[in-house]
Structure 1
Amino acid sequence: MAPQGRKLLPLLNFTSSRSHRTCVYKCGDACAKPVSNTSDNEYFRDVARRVFDRRRLLKGAGAAAMTVGGAAVTAGCATSEASADSVGAPSGSSDGASSGDIPDGMRFDVVAPNTQDAVVVPHGYDNKVLIRWGDPVVSGAPQWDLNQQTPEAAAQQFGFNPDFAALLPIEGSDKRFLFVCNHEYTTPQQMFPGYDADNPSENDVKIEWASHGLTVLEVEGNDQDGSLKPVMGKYNRRITGTTEFTLTGPAAGKELLKTKADPSGTRVLGTLGNCAGGLTPWGTVLSGEENVDQYFAGGAEATGKDAKKRNDRYGMKDSETVRHWEKYDDRFDLRKEPNEAHRFNYVVEINPWDASSTPVKHTAMGRFKHEGATIHVTDDGQIVAYSGDDARFEYIYKFVSSRRITEGSTPEAIAANMKALDEGTLYVASFQGNSDDFTEGKLPKDGAYDGEGTWHRLATSNSDGSVTSHINGMTGEEVLIFTRFAADKAGATKMDRPEDVEPNPKSGKVYAALTNNDYRGANRPGKKDAPTAEYAPIKENKNGLVLEMDDEHTGESFTWNLLLVCGDPHAAETYFGGFDKNSVSPISCPDNVAFDPHGNLWISTDGNALKSNDGLFAVSLEGDTRGLTKQFLTVPKDAETCGPIVEERRVLVNVQHPGEDDEATVESTTSHWPDGGKSLARPAAVVAWKKGNGPIGS
């Protein structure tokens, strides 16, 4: 029998905690705009399965590939030692449940829902800020000064709003690591004193450019606790919105990617909107370019074949942007540079072991709002990458490389494996339920939301640099650059904001966070909505879903089920893998996923619709406790929990946009985390650990 827990908080309401300010600067106010997908697609279809423990491969990859659970993450930080009373799921040390009922890795006192302006961790745990916005990253970088900011300084300091994170051990040291993290977006009102939103200065704009991108930072642990501290090491680097990237894959050099500044169509400045990502077995880091539409003006007036239609499908319609970057660089004005936007929305890859290396953008993996990209390697060494297109009614994709992994961590092996993401087949998924009795918001009679699915081929990138289209009426280059159109034609299934999609290193099963979709089944006048279905059973879905797929990986079939239908457990429509709903934590708006060394799923949330701060949750996947969900931490007011890393003795999260309500400015903010007092709220990365340096959740 499942262990019983304490009474949960009552259902409060279904209003997302995200402020409108966050929507404007994070995703270009997408929720206030019409859905970009106007196709009539409804279903995903067929499946099967294969499992593989990726850790076996990591052993051969040297220093470059060792972190289990190095999943997508948003920067976070915290100094508070506050803990909440145990509530909801059983802790293993209270609630009358024996510790044997709780999976290893999940034996901690549950953190209660709360609205504290602090990072709150379980009793017996501690946490500390690793690095915050503006802290030095490279040797010689100036200390951050709110009133003396410059683009040159910002390009040497930790960027704004970190999201994905990875932690890579440095060979030859058991205490040194590379912390790699991206910076998704900037919120200028909370960066610059007296910011004028209608007329930003060139200095402000250039600081924003420098505050995007990624950070590579050497960090050092100790023998006393799980904390980490920055080290000014040789690997340290900032990649920004103006760093040079190389476009790779078959679309590189084609006419649609050429601009006045780059007639070769192979070199592009910067990476923007970087959300989740993934750590590869060969020791590099992948990052997804997501909401880049917000940076480009004039999409509806751009010239060229089908330009307006193409820009509409990618959400680029506004004549001017809220950031006004187009005032200072013509490449952000599609009326002047109609192809510049085609050079964003890709999976980017950086080699953190070579600070002089040029990062790449992989065109073979398709162009859409990549939440991230994560890697699975099959038993015979074939490389598969999974990715979600994070927008309402968009799709889930995978890329199956035609190359096998090259073992080892030498520069030659890393270079060979990076090329593997330029050759292979890009697929999109369709889903189909298996219950004839499906009714909106009600569990089918067979006791599960489940069914089958099919992967549809879109394009195959060949070893000679050519690309074969599998979509009638589209060339291979068009499929790679306008992937959303190709997926529409293939009959992909409209999903509820597919965000992080990750394979479990222990089981090989693939998990996807479907954050929410208040348009689902809403039948709003003039909106291109989609009805509820077994894979999307909740009308006006405001709390999200977690999808589990048993995939063939290199094949074209899979089976699926919904592990979680999120929300308050007291609500009739919620579902926790069949586990007793009286014994779980409320969870809303799943965003990033990760896995601990025991194979448990960990979920970070974004936009909690239950009137509590966002948090990090552990979920059991096997046996009698499958679906048991326990909150491990919460982040400060108005903040988002991003892309956790869960190791044996430490947990890292990025805390994004603390205090970001609709009225927040440098002069007035609801949050003063992490420094307290009346200080300015600063996004940061946080490390949590068990006091005494014991194993997490054991």
Structure 2
Amino acid sequence: MSADPRRNAAVSIIENFRRPLPIADHARGKRLAVTCQLKCANACTNPECNTSSNQTFQEVASAALSRRALLGLGAAGAVALAVGAARSQAPLSAPGSAGVGGAGAAFGRPAGGSLPFDAIAPVNRYVDDLVVPSGYTWQPIIRWGDPLFSNAPVFDIDAQSPAAQALQFGYNSDYLDIVADPSGKTGVLVNNHEYCNPGIMFPPTTDPAELRRRGDIFKAAQGMSVVEVTRRRTGTPWSYVVDGKRNRRITVETVFELTGPAAGSDLVKTAADPEGRWVRGTLGNCAGGTTPWGTILSGEENFNGYFAWAADTPAQKRYQSTSSTSTETGWEKYDPRFDAHNPDYVNEPNRFGYIVEIDPQDPTSTPRKHTAMGRFKHEGANVIVAEDGRVVAYMGDDERNDYLYKFVSKNRISGSRKKNLDLLSEGDLYVAKFRGNSPVGEITGTGALPADGLFDGSGDWVALTRNGESAVPGFTTEEVLVHTRLAADAVGATKMDRPEDVEPNPRTGKVYLALTNNSARSAATVDETNPVTGNRYGHVVELTETAGQAGTTFGWSILLLCGDPAVFANSYFGGFPKELVSPISCPDNVAFDSAGNLWISTDGAPSTIGYNDGLFLVPLEGAERGHVQQFLAVPREAETCGPVIHDRDGLVFVAVQHPGEGGTFAAPTSLFPDYGSTAPGDVSSAPRPAVVQVYRA
């Protein structure tokens, strides 16, 4: 065994956990406590931010309230390009176990697909392996700390510095895409870096100077990475390029331009930026999207946790319910802009919580934050093109009992990339209001289907801005776009079970919304679109625009009520026999393959159903509709992020976030992705978030 004490401790712990263990007591919450603390500032255990008295849609229906006239959205689009690199790793658990994923029978791919596989068996939450189907293998493309430039040092966990991290791949990978060049042999990989975990990045310390130095490393480790990639030919694995001409790190110190109606308003001005137009940094970057014109969108999600927060006004409380005087990063101790108690920087939090747009082709370009798309805890944004040529972005606000939004551009897409770069700066913002079509008494909170056999109904897109101006009485345009949650409360939007990723299917135009969970959903507030009391497992909603791509109304139905059918008897899988599906919990991100099948990555399965998080295929049409099949499982305590499906290339890509999150620097609980390798640059004694690709062996 290695002499490295951290590796010895990790191996000892992991070997103990390789045994199958009982999971009867696995779930009190939805994530590890440390993940909740670092990622979202304990949003689910703090008092609820949404204290509005918005009625459920069942109450709306029974009261026969009038509906608003709205402006709508569209659906059409482009399949995102993406890929990765290669490593052989034998599955720890036997794939395709009987009774899981269709009794292990290989899924018959639709025409054009090239990823037949046997669904893997669920992987116990203590297993520290990335498990892929029989006949497939995997390898990291790039890991936390890998140098992007030749003047960056090889990563050394014991010799980290702010200067080195600013030239290295960032921490905790989330949204992922690879935008291929026309040759198919080169491209750029773009990845979000959501947050840091000091407990496994560094040994404990109380020294103020060392804590400040680490705080500066955290600033450099977050944000985004743009990295050139290359491969021998189409269909082969990718590797990243050191000193690529497009390589770039975007961090908490990168300057962004504010665009849209709220730019320059008094709500976003600070002592450091009296014009209210230039913001240093991006925070909490979660999911995202790739636009038809080739730019990357990134959602600023849990930005509130980075500020010492006053929470003494309704607007502040709506984004964080409780006051705080310190943060996990400690930035407020030496950087005044992170102390929102300071009168000079009380508006600094108002400069975060937007959709960020970067141009991965131009490392000299200034990234932008689009105020016209609203300010909330953006999971991401995914753009499609309506029939009339306007572009539309769907967005979820990832907090319990918050809302589903969409943005419709003022102008139409054109053949000019330069003009398209301004499309998201002007337009109108809408929030969703759902109605069910079943009697209130049939929605029991148990997940039992109503008499018509479906949870379904209709809905409206309620305008928050119209023709670029406020459509909400009592709110200025700037207030709508900076205090968007309050504006959505005012128009009676439907409270949802943590809206996360929401994406249109590029083949059908239908829209799929991942609702991760909401254990606080009470029996008094269940409705047909959120029909489970204390919803721990989450669900997926399918929307269909009913009045054209830019219409104002939609139909909807629940595709999946997630869970382990052996435990949650009322789980539902689009009508497919539940005894044949892979257990799935806490849907987070969604993607599509070339045939239009849905792929779902999860975040929270270990704490809810006792299995590691993973990536799942879900056909949407025909006899296989709803047949959930697990394709891979990520290692212990990790979250599956940023799925990209290149089935025609035979490639699948995921970002593995926070592996070994519950461990410590001295005693890690994961060795992903190096697992004892002694190759140069490998740090086998510590977990490293990474982007991986899976391909046929």
Matched, 1:546 2:556: no
CA deviations over 1:61-91 (Å, ceiling 9, x no partner): xxxxx63589xxxx99976332532136776
Matched, 1:495 2:505: no
Structure 2: tracts of 5 or more residues without a match: 1-20, 61-66, 677-683
Matched, 1:634 2:645: no
User: Please, which of 596, 599, 612 is the counterpart of residue 599 of structure 1?
Assistant: 596
Please tell me the root mean square deviation across aligned C-alpha atoms, in Å.
2.6
Q: Which residue pairs with 1:429 in the alignment?
A: 432
The one-letter code sitting in structure 2 at the alignment partner of 1:54 is: G
Q: Which residue pairs with 2:184 in the alignment?
A: 174
Structure 1: tracts of 5 or more residues without a match: 1-8, 56-65, 301-306, 408-412, 523-529, 692-698
Alignment of 1:373-412 (within 5 A): 373-407=381-415
Do 1:346 and 1:366's aligned partners in 2 also have CA atoms closer than 8 Å?
A: yes
Do 2:86 and 2:137's aligned partners in 1 also have CA atoms closer than 8 Å?
A: no
The one-letter code sitting in structure 2 at the alignment partner of 1:39 is: S
The one-letter code sitting in structure 2 at the alignment partner of 1:555 is: G
Alignment of 1:353-502 (within 5 A): 353-407=361-415, 413-436=416-439, 437-440=442-445, 441-460=447-466, 467-502=468-503
CA deviations over 1:308-341 (Å, ceiling 9, x no partner): 2211111162122233210010000012110100
CA deviations over 1:153-175 (Å, ceiling 9, x no partner): 1111011101001110113x221
Q: 1:197 to 1:36 in 2, by over 3 A?
A: farther
Q: Which residue pairs with 1:351 in the alignment?
A: 359
Do 2:73 and 2:551's aligned partners in 1 also have CA atoms closer than 8 Å?
A: no
* Matched residue SS, 1:206: helix
Q: 1:674 to 1:68 in 2, by over 3 A?
A: closer
User: Please, which of 678, 683, 694 is the counterpart of residue 688 of structure 1?
Assistant: 694
Q: CA deviation at 1:450?
A: 0.4
Do 2:23 and 2:610's aligned partners in 1 also have CA atoms closer than 8 Å?
A: no
Q: CA deviation at 1:42?
A: 3.3
What is the TM-score when the length of structure 2 is the normalising length? 0.88
CA deviations over 1:426-446 (Å, ceiling 9, x no partner): 000011110113322210111
Q: 1:582 to 1:245 in 2, by over 3 A?
A: same
Matched, 1:555 2:551: yes
Q: CA deviation at 1:147?
A: 1.9
CA–CA distance in 2 between the matches of 1:563 and 1:478? 35
What is the TM-score when the length of structure 1 is the normalising length? 0.87
Q: Which residue pairs with 2:80 in the alignment?
A: 67
* Matched residue SS, 2:422: helix
CA deviations over 1:224-244 (Å, ceiling 9, x no partner): 974221113100100001000
Q: Which residue pairs with 1:645 in the alignment?
A: 644
Q: 1:293 to 1:568 in 2, by over 3 A?
A: same
CA–CA distance in 2 between the matches of 1:298 and 1:382? 38
User: Which has the higher mean CA deviation after the structures are superposed, 42-51 or 548-557?
Assistant: 42-51
User: Please, which of 514, 524, 536 is the counterpart of residue 530 of structure 2?
Assistant: 536
Q: Which residue pairs with 2:584 in the alignment?
A: 587
The size of the alignment, in residue pairs, is 642
Q: 1:455 to 1:78 in 2, by over 3 A?
A: farther
Q: 1:611 to 1:17 in 2, by over 3 A?
A: farther
User: Please, which of 133, 137, 152 is the counterpart of residue 126 of structure 1?
Assistant: 137
Q: CA deviation at 1:418?
A: 2.2
CA–CA distance in 1 between the matches of 2:104 and 2:298? 41
Q: CA deviation at 1:382?
A: 1.4
CA–CA distance in 2 between the matches of 1:651 and 1:283? 20
Q: Which residue pairs with 1:4 in the alignment?
A: none
Q: CA deviation at 1:422?
A: 1.3
The one-letter code sitting in structure 2 at the alignment partner of 1:82 is: P
* Matched residue SS, 2:435: strand
Q: 1:113 to 1:255 in 2, by over 3 A?
A: same
CA deviations over 1:135-192 (Å, ceiling 9, x no partner): 0123422211112211111111011101001110113x22112110110001111112
Q: Which residue pairs with 2:225 in the alignment?
A: 215
CA deviations over 1:187-237 (Å, ceiling 9, x no partner): 111112334499862110000000110000111123597422111310010
The one-letter code sitting in structure 1 at the alignment partner of 2:451 is: K
Alignment of 1:616-635 (within 5 A): 616-635=615-634
Q: Which residue pairs with 2:679 in the alignment?
A: none
Alignment of 1:217-232 (within 5 A): 217-223=227-233, 226-232=236-242
* Matched residue SS, 1:283: coil
Do 1:69 and 1:594's aligned partners in 2 also have CA atoms closer than 8 Å?
A: no
The one-letter code sitting in structure 2 at the alignment partner of 1:191 is: M
Q: 1:77 to 1:107 in 2, by over 3 A?
A: closer
Q: Which residue pairs with 2:31 in the alignment?
A: 18
Identity over the aligned pairs, expressed in percent?
Answer: 49
* Matched residue SS, 2:528: coil
Q: 1:76 to 1:568 in 2, by over 3 A?
A: farther
* Matched residue SS, 1:26: helix
Q: Which residue pairs with 1:695 in the alignment?
A: none
Do 2:540 and 2:560's aligned partners in 1 also have CA atoms closer than 8 Å?
A: yes
CA–CA distance in 2 between the matches of 1:120 and 1:428? 39
* Matched residue SS, 1:415: helix
The one-letter code sitting in structure 1 at the alignment partner of 2:117 is: F
* Matched residue SS, 1:653: strand
CA deviations over 1:492-513 (Å, ceiling 9, x no partner): 0000000001001000000010
User: Please, which of 318, 331, 334 is the counterpart of residue 328 of structure 1?
Assistant: 334
The one-letter code sitting in structure 2 at the alignment partner of 1:249 is: G
Q: 1:21 to 1:96 in 2, by over 3 A?
A: closer
User: Which has the higher mean CA deviation after the structures are superposed, 108-117 or 501-510?
Assistant: 108-117
CA–CA distance in 1 between the matches of 2:349 and 2:359? 24
Do 1:384 and 1:553's aligned partners in 2 also have CA atoms closer than 8 Å?
A: no
* Matched residue SS, 1:201: helix
